[in-house]
Structure 1
Amino acid sequence: MKYMLRRLAMFVVALIVISIIVFVMLRILPGDIAAVMAGTNATPERVAALREQMGLNKPLVSQYFDWIGGLFHGDFGESMLTGQPVATVVGSRAAITFPLIVMGMAVALLIGIPLGYLSVRTTNRVVQSIYQSIAIIGGAIPALWGGLLLILLFAKGVGILPVFPAQGFPSTGWANPGKALMSLILPALTVGIIVGATIMRYTRASLQTISSSGYVEMAMACGMTRRKALWHVGLRLAMPQLVSVVGLTFAEMITGVMVIENLFALPGIGTGLVSDLGHRDLIAVQSELFMLAAFFLVIGLLVDLAHRALDPRLGEESND
């Protein structure tokens, strides 16, 4: 409980610091924010009206606390482009990005953990070299190139086996789950193959360390085969490290899928953030950056708590 309270306190402090950094970063941009958002051809009257509309004529401290107060009440501001609440816009984008990340992570786990386990289980040098090559090549594939290759293989209209849509997301969203899932399969495979190679390397390294530490031999001395010892004992001991890797990788994939979203024309968070930056919708960008940073911190907090729950030795070390 003490550890959890300490981590929650650190989480709150980190949120406050990040909110200040995001707020200040946009205020130190060259020129006036209102002039930047209004465009180069805007009249002085338009710029002045925009400053008053966004509250930029107030002191910076007042602007910060107005923004933070709105965040606490669920008001993330309004997009200057569409006039919609930022929370609504980000929510519609997240309904594409998060399912894509979950599907990609599922593919990565299905690839990475079994292949990492098999690469340690085998004692054949040639087979080990093949698994190692798979991990290196899979991690080295550029996301853009991998996505284009899958499009040429499986996309409707251009692929050798035209099964899945090449681009876009249904205008009706998840009202048609079948079409929505089909449009995310190729992007998820692209992400999953690349991330799966990383998880495979971590799984392989963890199991190799555990297999040389004596735990596997002890399990085999109790009657297990090497295969069962690695699967039941090795993977269980490697789980805390794998949870950390998977959790942090999941958080990084929020922005990491930006290239994939652009390639497959998916209106997700990454694509939307780039679009808002390009259209100088800085108030929306401010809230979007804070929401992404808060998500990273939440994932980090959950990973720390899960790591501690899976590895009781951490509690024993702190008590000592």
Structure 2
Amino acid sequence: MRFVIRRFLLFVAALLAISVVIFAALRILPGDVASVMAGLNAPPERVAQLRSQMGLDRPLVVQYLSWMGGLLHGNFGTSLLTGRSISSTVAMRASVTFPLIVLGLVVALAIGLTLGVVATLATRPMVRSAFHFLAIVGGAIPALWGGLLLILLFGRGTGLLGVLPSQGFPEAGWGSFSSALASLVLPALTVGIIDGASLMRYTRSALGDVMQSGYIDQAMACGYTRRQAALKVGLRLATPQLVSVVGLMFAGMITGVMVIENLFALPGIGTGLVTDLGNRDLIAVQSELFMLAAFFLFVGFLVDLLHRFLDPRLKHAVQGGAQ
């Protein structure tokens, strides 16, 4: 319980620090936020109106506390360009981005864990070298190029096979479940293949280290074959290390899918953030950046807890050190 409380306090402290950085960044940059949003040739009356509307004429401490108070109540503010609630806009975009990340992670796990185990268990040097080469090539593929290649192969209307949609998201959203899911298949494959190649290298390395330890010899002495010992003992011992890798990969996908969303014309958080930056809707950008940072920190918090739960040796080490 003390460990959980300590990690939670660190999470809250990091979140507050990030909020201060994001808030200050939009006010330390050269120029006035209202002037930037109003445009270069905006009359002074328009700039003054924006400053009053955005609350920029109030002290900075008051502005920050007002913004944080709104965030705590789930109120991200109102877009000055569209007049819509930023919370509803972000929620709509998140309904595209987060399913895409989850599907991409599923693909990455299926590829990375499976091929990583197969590569570790391979005994022929040529086969091991082939898997090593595959992991390097797959991880080196740029996301943009990989996505274009999948569009040319499977994109409906332009691809060689033409079986999957390659642009857009249904207007009905997840109300049209089959169409929504089909529109995310190619983007998820693009993300999953690249991250799966990286996960394959980590799996091969972590499981390879365990295979050279005495745990596998003990399991084989109890009657397990090498394959059974790797699957039932090796993977379990390598799981804490892989959980950390998968957690960071999952959090990193939130920024990695920005390119993919723009390529496949998906109305997700990445596309929306680029659009808001181009439209100078800095109030929306401020809240969206905070949400992304909070998500990244929260995933790290969960990974710490899960790593502690899966590896009892950490608990015993801390208790031994305390004694």
Q: Scaled by the length of structure 1, what TM-score is found?
A: 0.99
Query: 1:230-271, CA deviations, whole angstroms, 9 ceiling, x for partnerless residues?
Result: 011010011111111111110110011111101100011111
CA distance in 2, matches of 1:183, 1:209: 40
Is 1:249 aligned to 2:249, yes or no? yes
Paired residue type of 1:197: A
For residues 215 and 133 of structure 1, the distance between their equivalents in structure 2, rounded to whole angstroms, comes to: 29
**TM-score if structure 2 supplies the norm length?**
0.98
Pairing 1:125–2:125 present = yes
Task: Structure 2: state its 5+ residue gaps.
Answer: none
Q: Secondary structure in 1 aligned to 2:63?
A: helix
Tell me how far apart the structure 2 counterparts of residues 17 and 259 of structure 1 sit (CA, whole Å): 27
Runs of 4+ in structure 1 deviating by more than 4 angstroms, as ranges, are none
**Which residue of the partner structure matches residue 211 of structure 2?**
211
Identity over the aligned pairs, expressed in percent?
65
Distance (whole Å) between structure 2 residues aligned to residue 75 and residue 104 of structure 1: 30
Deviations along 1:215-243, one digit per CA (max 9) or x if unpaired, are 11111011000000001101001111111
Separation in 1, partners of 2:227, 2:74: 52
Which residue of the partner structure matches residue 286 of structure 2?
A: 286
1:107 and 1:12 map into 2 onto residues whose CA distance is 32
1 CA distance for matches of 2:195 and 2:297?
21
Q: 1:59-102: per-residue Cα shift (whole Å, max 9, x none)?
A: 11111111111111111111122111111111001000000010
Cα deviation, residue 158, structure 1: 1.2
| Partner SS, residue 220 of structure 1 | helix
* 1:275 equivalent in structure 2: 275
Structure 1 counterpart of 2:152, one-letter code: L
Instruction: Give 1:183-194 correspondences, 5 Å limit.
Output: 183-194=183-194
Partner of 1:238: 238
User: 1:148-204: per-residue Cα shift (whole Å, max 9, x none)?
Assistant: 111111111111111001111001111100000000000000111000001100000
Q: Deviations over 1:117-176 (max 9, x none)?
A: 010101100000011011001001111111111111111111111100111100111110
Residue matched to 2:199: 199
Aligned residue identity for 1:146: G
Amino acid at match of 2:238: A
Give, as a single letter, the amino acid of the residue that structure 2 aligns with 1:306: L
Runs of 5+ in structure 1 lacking a partner? none
Cα distance in 1 for partners of 2:61, 2:249 equals: 35
Secondary structure at the aligned position of 2:159 is classed as coil
Tell me, in whole angstroms, the C-alpha distance in 2 between the residues paired with 1:33 and 1:94. Answer: 26
How big is each residue's C-alpha offset from its partner over 1:259-298, in whole Å with a ceiling of 9 and x where there is no partner? 1101100011111111111111111111111111111111
